[in-house]
Amino acid sequence: NAGVTQTPKFRILKIGQSMTLQCTQDMNHNYMYWYRQDPGMGLKLIYYSVGAGITDKGEVPNGYNVSRSTTEDFPLRLELAAPSQTSVYFCASSDQRGNNEQFFGPGTRLTVL
Amino acid sequence: GENVEQHPSTLSVQEGDSAVIKCTYSDSASNYFPWYKQELGKRPQLIIDIRSNVGEKKDQRIAVTLNKTAKHFSLHITETQPEDSAVYFCAASPDNFNKFYFGSGTKLNVKP
């Protein structure tokens, strides 16, 4: 199993540009999450999904959108990039049977100039 | 929502010494408390976790304790080694959707 994979690894955007961060998991997990990690800080939940077609906001959803059309994929969309969105973005997934380990992807380092 | 505070932000110990990292949480509904280790430029990885029906859990050199009444939990690393150097994050999960609320992290430096 590849686990959780993310693309791209790195990206530089100009202010106002848009992009989609891709996340795929092959563990058949129903629950998926997007976090952002600012330098020297913890992870903040942006959006999460409990299954295909179901998404909800986390702690810091402004400026982002998500969709979940399949169990495997959970893309994160930035519509109008701002310097405040410079961060490392991690996707994670977990089994839906109670509270348990979240498995993280390798991260996408995004810089907005 | 849940608020998790973590201390200290940095911790430097000599190889072989013990390290202790402490976290507090605010939501009494939290019932799952994982600890993640993140090496530089890598993804967070689970090292140990504890559920609210247990007061202590140990895995070799790593242990976690939980005090539900005081709403705090701690990570203990004994006989530290240079490869323990990393950033450690605590988290709390208060609901059935397994959402995690993370602390701000502790950078542990083990000096050889």
Shortest distance between the Cα of B17 and any Cα of chain A, in A, equals: 25
The pLDDT mean for chain A works out to 95
**Tokens describing residue A79:** 């519509």
Residue appearing with tokens 């009444």:
B69
| Separation of alpha carbons A41 and A90, rounded Å | 13
Residue appearing with tokens 């994050």:
B89
pLDDT at A1 over 90: no
Query: What is the full DSSP assignment across B32-101?
Result: EEEEEEE-TTS--EEEEEEETT-SEEEETTEEEEEETTTTEEEEEE-S--GGG-EEEEEEEB-STT---E
Supply the DSSP symbol for A106.
Answer: -
Mutate one of A9, A95, A99 to test the B interface: name it (highest B CB count within 10 A): A99
pLDDT digits (tens, 9 = 90+) for A40-83: 888 999 999 999 999 999 999 999 999 999 999 999 999 899 99
Position B53 confidence tier, pLDDT thresholds 50, 70, 90 = confident
With CB atoms and an 8 Å threshold, state whether B31 touches A99. Answer: yes
pLDDT for res B98:
84
pLDDT at A99 over 80: no
Provide φ and ψ at A83, rounded to 5°. -55, -30
| Separation of alpha carbons B33 and A6, rounded Å | 26
In sign, the C-alpha dihedral spanning B86, A44, B76, B31 is: negative
With CB atoms and an 8 Å threshold, state whether A31 touches B98. Answer: yes
Specify burial of residue A84 (Cβ count, 10 A radius: 0-12, 13-18, 19+). exposed
pLDDT for res B22:
98
pLDDT at B1 over 90: no
pLDDT for res A19:
96
| Separation of alpha carbons B22 and B79, rounded Å | 18
Shortest distance between the Cα of A32 and any Cα of chain B, in A, equals: 10
| Separation of alpha carbons B85 and B100, rounded Å | 23
pLDDT at B52 over 90: no
Contact residues, chain A, for B29 at CB < 8 Å: none
With CB atoms and an 8 Å threshold, state whether A94 touches B31. Answer: no
| Separation of alpha carbons A106 and A89, rounded Å | 9
Position A12 confidence tier, pLDDT thresholds 50, 70, 90 = very high
Per-residue burial over B16-51, b = 16 or more CB atoms within 10 Å of its CB, e = otherwise? eeebbbbbbbebeebbbbbbbbbeeeebbeebbbbe
| pLDDT more than 90, % of chain B | 90
Residues β-bridged to residue B62: B59, B77
Average pLDDT over residues B78-99: 93
In sign, the C-alpha dihedral spanning A65, A70, A72, A73 is: negative
Residues β-bridged to residue A87: A110
pLDDT for res A96:
80
